[in-house]
């Protein structure tokens, strides 16, 4: 079994199922039918599509597997809501998801409710380990889409000259007041050595290894890691402004060749959503609407190309994913904060305990670009069947990101998690941590 | 005064205003917020946009002109709902209208109601001739958008694999039963001569010339028209199928060079919305959902390129717009039929009085491609001010269409009407009438 | 017979054949194999291709017709050197002509010589009227390509930062010295009337009508022309600079909608080949290399969109092709000047007799954009067979140009000649003459 | 010093310089000016450009560095012949190199001769170690372009329907006669372990480490390599035909997501240059013209996407670059064969000693795609100055290739060499070796 889950009793699975599904619905609650229909670019999916696709996943891979004779809810939904499983037949091209006015939001909510009812009934009866494993995958899959619902609607709303906000910011008391441009930065050194990263194979119920992981995090494997030094915290907006003001976007010497070409073609002059004002200051568009740049908060919505250029300008480089994972073992997994606080922007560091010494800000602020291309770990085996397409086939032209953002569900974060996006992607909540070789 | 209108009393203008506005709302009634949001290609606008843009037109050009000191409903709406008036400043690019989830449908309905209320009040007090003229233009403009609401939502719904229908077909009793593939066709001959076409200038209240016309229909002018022969009726789907089956889409000798290039690039093998079935028959997608091809009905949704190729294959040519207009004087202006019958597809000819002898089917079935490029009439003067952009600036790379379709408001049709679209456009309700030189 | 030719004795045809072919070779003489190979955009063809294609035309349509049993020079040349005759089978896509390094220039010269030898022998024996007619078409066709060789190599050389020149300018004595920005301009009025334009059908040997014309110039036909006024001379570079300096390229009110879109997309700020210097003056690239703008010379290398905008700015419009042709009857056909003088730029007007009163500069300076879309004349019949594709299939999305440029062979110019290009084309030697309605 | 060279006496450098430059000229000898001008796609450069660019490299980085006061040969050549050094200012966009008919081939040959003369004189006087190091880089750089001259002209000639050949094949006696589809294949196992790859830093004159290497091959570094198994030979055309015939190009389950998208968009059905005949057999286009597929020869001109899909179909995977380099230590570096034999296609294996037991065919047949994304080695430092752009800035979206092809200069091959191309590139001489995890 490839998915590794502590769940052994249906009751806890049932309650987790309800919780995850409910969290998704809560994310769509502030949005109307029009908001849920728009697709602002091929990378983005309409909220409606996220709501339906995650449901289709449970219907196809859990109910369909557990009850092969069962009638499909709507035979045409596969064509509409299959994301990329070639093994499951034809599907609507990704860039055309915004052309589908039907099913309506209301019809999709009804679809969710019908499948939830069927799932609840099945879970009440109990499921075997195989079904439980796929269900656990489905829950983690839905959590991924929870984050995408937020990144995607931010992009949709940003296209609108009215700059509508998704949700008001929480009361000031829960937000940060003490903002420092350049919170204390220390460099954390790690000696060279033969290390292990990745998630243990042979996990799951009965193995004593309870944690879920995607197939791409396995197997845990040894690798030799030279000595390195890594920044204790993320790059701030204030620091990034220094880069901009020092001509960072017009000096090719800092940029990868492909990155420079994209910058030139797209006319980038700052992170996505930043808007330079006539007085030289910047605003940014967030799920709370248009805000002033918070110089002490982590910079976000930069591509790997920009992260790379910033690092080169700063005389450093991006960490490898192995360096990141090793470092993360010295850091507790802070909760993603949006669930608790209602705050949907990365917080300035001062929000945290000022006494923190070692590496921090590793979970729940921004995804951190690494310098590692996304590739299979040695010994990697994809899942069997159509689910084998879940991760493996994307292992080209993508870079690994680590950590997790303020949009990520708290229970979804772990040290071995491998997120991945093309190096030019900017609409995710992505930021920068610096690293350096450690001369030995 | 360039717009020519019988309206001399505010009361009749007021009631026409209410009627036209109400007709627009009725067209949107079968659609939900999701349907009204989608833009399926840059040529198509979301229903929401049509509803708002027509309202913005009255607010800007009528209320704004009549009451210069009045506060704008929402200062940002110009940016969103200006179509192409460069003189009025920046606007959302045409292809991005589908990215705007806000204002919501409900907000736009509220906008319509607010402007209508203000308009009603103004009309109750009476307006001067200048305002009345622009208001008449606004009403005709809104009628144009009524037709576009239908053509555009047909294209939107056609993208959806669920093939949702806009409205059920009317009961069979109101539809045609006797269908003939090839209704009687006669050729109507006109001798050569110095003729006049176009709408009389110097019309309007007090001139005895009551009819409205757009600026591009003026001035009425003389031109020499050689003898010609024109078909008494439109080309049917059955005839067009013969063309397809005779290899019409793979024989370049019938096609214009540009048309052949488009056909090849787009992979055209039949009219837009036709779908060839495995058994060789064709279905078509309509506002009533998917229907069998009606062999006796006029072919529709063909580009000028296809109309030209069909005509060449048939040993004929397309009529010029002068030939069409001259011929139309021998034909009564039948009502566009959708308002009465609820039927939103072109009817087979048998529906009409079989005793018709002269040219017929000239109004209210399909727009008829002419062989005339859209150009100013001799002596043409565009309207003054921003409204001068209404027609004149499109006089290049477009072909004139004449007649009017089953989507056209009945009161909107007249002999001098000049519709225009690029030669490759297919999403309008466009068909074919043949003509020939008459050897003298 | 559709092509109309004075040639009745083979001897004169033979000598014309030699003269035209030799003129083509002379045009290629200043160019090396590299120059003759490059294609700088799809509209442009390599010189090598022009040399071969015109030869292929004679081989296919003259030798192939006269001697059906004859062996083809190289069976593969049809694939390479057919321009657009769909009836003759597959061919290299237009945009890929610059990918063909072989046959080499030397091989193509050998091909020309072989076909010329065969043609000479055939012409020495005499040909029948049908062959003579196609041969005459071939000669006029080759003359068209003589002009294209010049326009195309100008575009090729212009891409090169070295700005190489095709040929040095002639000694100053043959060039103009007295340059006036704004030579005297008068307006020539024509009353309304039923007029005739086009070339007489039923011409050719024995009919007393000796002149050649292309099929698209026929038949001569009547049309009603309203009174109009037309400028006695062309628009000068100095006048066009006024338009630029008055913001002509940033004021949409003067532009056609399509024209404004192209201007914006392409970033046009002046005619093709104009380069604004840091001091605000302009240089232009010509076949004589980089030159200062001659303010008194006709503006050239403008699209119809720019011509239209200029005319609107100047309170005028472009003439129709009928207006142009009627006016041209009052003007002698001046020779295109390049053959005699070696001068390959339009001359300033002062070069001409200053006493000229009526319309002048109508032949041999620049092609003049008209406001007429390219369409068949009433009663037009294309040539039979593959040659029927020569003109007719391009009658869409093109505008008619009249007159002839300083690149045109002198013997090629006539009043009825209809040149045509898409409204956005700028690499031809194209300029502007103004016209106006004449209020009667 | 980063470039590591055995050259300590100017005399040997001088003779190497002459040899390398002469070899380049010899490669261009079979080509005429037209062949040397054409650019068939942006990835390809005209031969003329290669000849000039390599010369510009010596002029700029060697002569310009050694003699700062020296006059540039032609100040405009930097603009034309700079490849991608942003630090050196503006340059002609890559895709427009084929638009430059000037300088002519003859002028570029003169440029080469002038620089060679100057270089010879300088080398006769002796150069210091810094200059020698850059000169060595220049020679290796020119050798890279020697291979590109061949890959690029193959692509240029392949566009021509005449299918011209670059050079006739050598006499049959030097070619292979015994051709086996499936030569013996063994799997070579390597145990897991901490290994070292890369080129030793601190090399060069006086260090006892004489070999040149590019900066991207350094530093030599340790890494942990799990146990693996690697194929003793390359995949043959016969084996690849099995993949094709088994539906390899229509079964997405074997393909990376990006690869499948490219295959679909481009319509790939076999390697580049393969043409399926009506009888089902395949021909291929080579520098010797069109040839039958040699089923026993290594497959070539496949992208990484195809290599990956083939490996997945075969139940294997591509080796990592570390696996390849480790394995190569068990294999002698065979000469690239083209220099000796005149044979410009990969040879079937039977050509080699049949007694070979261990890994073979690792050098001089085809470049082998690895599964490793191109990234900096731990501790990598790019060269100082403009030359730092040589390799480092391409470390994204590219895959590493190892080995060397039959187009590679023999003296250019070594175990640590890292070639790199985007995963979709096919016009290089690229093939496949399989690997597998070794279960321990």
Å between D258 CA and nearest CA of chain C: 28
Question: Which of D73, D89, D96, D102 to mutate against chain C (most C CBs within 10 Å)?
Answer: D102
Q: What average pLDDT does this structure show over A27-45?
A: 98
For C437, the 3-state DSSP assignment is strand
Find the CB nearest B159 among A33, A99, A160: A99
- The tokens for B312 are 């060449």
Closest-approach residue (CA) in chain A for B31: A101
Q: Which helix (H) or strand (E) holds A231?
A: strand A228-231
Residues of B in contact with C394 (CB under 8 A): 256-258
Assign B179 a pLDDT band (cuts: 50, 70, 90): low
d(CA A283, CA A290): 7
Which of D92, D104, D157 is facing C34, going by the closest CB pair? D104
Confidence of residue A8 (pLDDT cuts 50, 70, 90): very low
Q: How far is the alpha carbon of B152 from chain A, nearest alpha carbon, in Å?
A: 12
Distance from C-alpha of A272 to C-alpha of D317, rounded to nearest angstrom: 38
**How close C224 gets to chain B, by Cα (Å)?**
5
Share of chain D above pLDDT 70, in %: 90
Q: Does B85 contact C at CB distance below 8 Å?
A: no
| Reduced DSSP (H G I as helix, E B as strand, rest coil) percent helix, strand, coil of chain B, to 5 | 40, 15, 50
CA D27, CA D30: separation in Å to the nearest integer? 7
Q: How far is B412 from chain A (nearest CA, A)?
A: 30
Would you tell me the crossing angle of helices C47-57 and C10-28 to the nearest 10 degrees? 170
Do A32 and B104 lie within an 8 Å CB cutoff? yes
Structure tokens at C231: 């400028």
Tokens standing for residue D332? 């002698």
Q: Residue B161: its chain A contacts at CB < 8 A?
A: 76, 79-80, 92
pLDDT value for A351: 52
For chain C, say whether D133 makes contact (Cβ under 8 Å). Answer: no
Contact A339, A311 (CB under 8 A): no
Note the pLDDT of residue D355.
Answer: 53
Say if C159 is an interface residue toward chain D (CB within 8 Å). yes
Instruction: Give D83's strand partners.
Output: none
Q: What is the pLDDT of residue D335?
A: 55
Task: Say whether D194 and A224 touch across the interface (CB within 8 A).
Answer: yes
Chains C and D touch (3+ CB pairs under 8 A): yes
Assess whether pLDDT exceeds 70 at residue C60: yes
Q: Structure tokens of C245?
A: 């300096």
- Contact yes or no for B393 and C423 at CB 8 A: no
Partner B contacted by C312 (CB < 8 A)? no
Say whether A397 and D258 touch across the interface (CB within 8 A). Answer: yes
Domain ranges of chain C: 10-158, 172-437
Inter-chain residue contact A34 with B40, CB threshold 8 Å: no
In the CATH scheme, what is the code of domain A10-158?
Answer: 1.20.120
Here the contacts of B268-275 (C-beta below 8 Å, separation 24 or greater) are B268/B306, B269/B244, B270/B244, B271/B240, B271/B299, B271/B300, B271/B301, B271/B302, B271/B306, B271/B426, B272/B301, B272/B302, B272/B426, B272/B427, B273/B154, B273/B158, B273/B301, B274/B301
Contact list, B35 vs chain A (CB under 8 Å): 101-102
Please give the order of strands across the beta sheet that includes D367-373.
D419-421, D399-402, D367-373, D430-431
Taking CB atoms and an 8 Å cutoff, what residues of chain C touch B373?
373, 375, 396
Nearest to D256 among A252, A395, A437 (CB): A395
CB contact under 8 A, C86 and B253: yes
At residue D325, the 3 state secondary structure works out as helix
Give tens-digit pLDDT for D347-396.
887 555 445 678 999 999 999 999 999 999 999 998 888 898 889 999 99
For the entire predicted model, the pTM comes to 0.95
Q: In what order do the strands lie in the sheet with A289-292?
A: A274-276, A282-286, A289-292
Which of A90, A95, A99, A289 to mutate: most B Cβ within 10 Å? A99
Cα–Cα distance list, A299 to A256, A293, A347, C325 (Å): 20, 9, 10, 68
pLDDT in the model for residue C411: 87
Q: Which residues pair with C194 in a beta bridge?
A: C224
Using a CB–CB cutoff of 8 Å, tell me whether A393 touches chain D. Answer: yes
Residue D313 phi/psi, 5-degree rounding, is -60, -35
The tens digit of pLDDT for each residue in C333-366 reads 865 455 456 789 998 875 554 456 789 999 999 9
pLDDT at D249 over 90: yes
Minimal Cβ distance to A100: which of B32, B92, B160: B160
Query: Tokens 């091909």 — which residue?
Result: C111
Q: For residue A226, give the nearest of D84, D371, D379 by CB distance.
A: D379
Structure tokens at D190: 């390597």
- Residue among B38, B100, B104 whose CB faces A101 most closely: B38
* Residue D430: half-sphere exposure toward Cβ, Cα within 13 Å: 27
- pLDDT band with cut points at 50, 70 and 90 for residue B341: low
Among B33, B92, B164, the residue with its CB nearest the CB of A34 is: B33
Cα dist. C435→A352, C234, C416, D404 in Å? 76, 11, 19, 69
ipTM score of complex: 0.94
Q: Which of A383-392, B201-210, B372-381, B382-391 has the lowest mean pLDDT?
A: B201-210
Cβ of C253 and B371 within 8 Å?
no
Taking an 8 Å cut-off on Cβ atoms, the answer to whether A92 and B40 are in contact is no
Q: What is the pLDDT of residues A60-106, one digit of tens each?
A: 999 999 999 999 999 999 999 998 888 888 889 999 999 999 999 99
Q: Which residues of A touch B99 (CB under 8 A)?
A: 38, 40, 156, 159-160
Helices C237-245 + C304-313 axis angle, to 10 = 70
| Residues 139-158 (A) with a CB less than 8 A from some CB of B | 156-157
Residue B234 reports pLDDT greater than 50: yes
Above 80 in pLDDT, residue D1? no
Residue D178 pLDDT level (bands cut at 50, 70, 90): low
CB contact under 8 A, C76 and D162: yes
Q: How near does any CA of chain A get to the CA of D224, in Å?
A: 5
- How does the average pLDDT of chain A come out, rounded? 91
3-state secondary structure of A189: strand
Looking at CATH, the fold of the domain delimited by A172-437 is given as 3.90.1580
Check CB contact under 8 Å for A38 and B80.
no
The pLDDT of A206-216, averaged and rounded, is 72
Q: Give the pairing of strands B193-197 and A430-431.
A: unpaired
């Amino acid at each position: 079994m490839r998915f590794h889950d502590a769940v052994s009793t249906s009751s806890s699975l049932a309650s987790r199922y309800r919780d995850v599904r409910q969290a998704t619905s809560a994310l769509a609650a502030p949005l109307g039918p029009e908001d849920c229909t728009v697709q602002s670019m091929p990378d983005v999916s309409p909220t409606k599509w996220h709501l339906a696709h995650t449901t289709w996943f449970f219907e196809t891979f859990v109910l369909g597997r557990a009850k092969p004779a069962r009638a499909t809810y709507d035979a045409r939904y596969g064509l509409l809501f299959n994301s990329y499983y070639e093994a499951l037949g034809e599907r609507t091209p990704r860039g055309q998801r915004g052309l589908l006015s039907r099913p309506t939001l209301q019809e999709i909510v009804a679809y969710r409710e019908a499948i939830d009812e069927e799932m609840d009934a099945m879970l009440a009866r109990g499921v075997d380990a195989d079904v439980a494993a796929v269900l656990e995958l489905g829950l983690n899959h839905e959590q991924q889409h929870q984050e995408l619902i937020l990144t995607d609607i931010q992009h949709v709303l940003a296209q609108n000259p009215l700059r509508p906000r998704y949700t008001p910011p929480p009361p000031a008391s829960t937000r940060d007041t003490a903002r420092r441009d350049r919170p204390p930065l220390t460099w954390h050194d790690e000696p060279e050595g033969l290390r292990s990263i990745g998630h243990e194979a042979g996990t799951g119920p009965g193995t004593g290894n309870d944690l879920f992981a995607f197939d791409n995090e396995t197997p845990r494997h040894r690798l030799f890691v030279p000595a390195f030094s890594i920044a204790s915290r993320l790059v701030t907006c204030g620091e990034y402004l220094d880069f901009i003001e020092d001509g960072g976007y017009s000096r090719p010497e800092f940029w990868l060749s492909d990155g420079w070409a994209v910058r030139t073609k797209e006319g980038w002059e700052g992170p996505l959503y930043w808007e330079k004002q006539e007085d030289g200051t910047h605003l940014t568009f967030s799920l709370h609407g248009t805000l002033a740049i918070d110089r002490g908060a982590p910079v976000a919505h930069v591509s790997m190309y920009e992260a790379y250029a910033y690092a080169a300008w700063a005389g450093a480089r991006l960490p490898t994913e192995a360096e990141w994972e090793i470092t993360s073992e010295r850091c507790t997994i802070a909760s993603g904060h949006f669930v608790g606080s209602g705050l949907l922007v990365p917080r300035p560091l001062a929000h945290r305990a000022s006494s923190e010494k070692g590496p921090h800000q590793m979970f729940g602020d921004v995804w951190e670009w690494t310098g590692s291309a996304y590739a299979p770990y040695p010994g990697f085996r994809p899942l069997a069947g159509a689910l084998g397409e879940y991760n493996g086939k994307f292992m080209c032209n993508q870079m690994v990101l680590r950590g997790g953002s303020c949009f990520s569900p708290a229970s979804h974060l772990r040290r071995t998690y491998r997120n991945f996006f093309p190096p030019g992607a900017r609409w995710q909540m992505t930021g920068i941590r610096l690293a350096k070789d450690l001369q030995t």
